[in-house]
Amino acid sequence: MSNNNASSNLAVVKKAVKQLRIEAKVRRITVSQAATDLKNFCLQNAHKDPLLMGVPSSDNPFRPPKSCGLL
């Protein structure tokens, strides 16, 4: 029973080591650089942002329904 438990623990540790090796290879940048990049992206794409520019009524699926003129 202890041999099975040891092999199970070994498998868990190997999986953890594999994941740590993958994460160690990830390219990292400083927080200040990430913030600058994010700010520049937001400024460059602000004209496309519907939260800033609004949604044209013709494209808005949630616009109020038009009233019916039938009597």
- pLDDT of residue 67 exceeding 90: no
* Integer CA distances (angstroms), 44 to 19, 47, 49, in order: 36, 8, 10
Token output for 4? 């099975």
Total-model pTM: 0.49
Residues 6+ apart with CB under 8 A from 57: 63
Sole residue written with tokens 């650089």: 33
Q: What is residue 12's predicted lDDT score, i.e. its pLDDT?
A: 96
Instruction: Indicate the pLDDT class of residue 70, thresholds 50, 70 and 90.
Output: low
Q: With respect to residue 65, please indicate whether it lies within any of the assigned structural domains.
A: no
Instruction: Indicate the pLDDT class of residue 33, thresholds 50, 70 and 90.
Output: very high
In the chain, count H helices and then E strands: 3, 0
Helix (H) or strand (E) holding 10: helix 2-24
Domain that holds residue 29: 2-52
Q: What is the tally of structural domains in the chain?
A: 1
Q: What is residue 62's predicted lDDT score, i.e. its pLDDT?
A: 81
Mean pLDDT, to the nearest integer, of 28-40?
Answer: 97
Q: With respect to residue 59, please indicate whether it lies within any of the assigned structural domains.
A: no
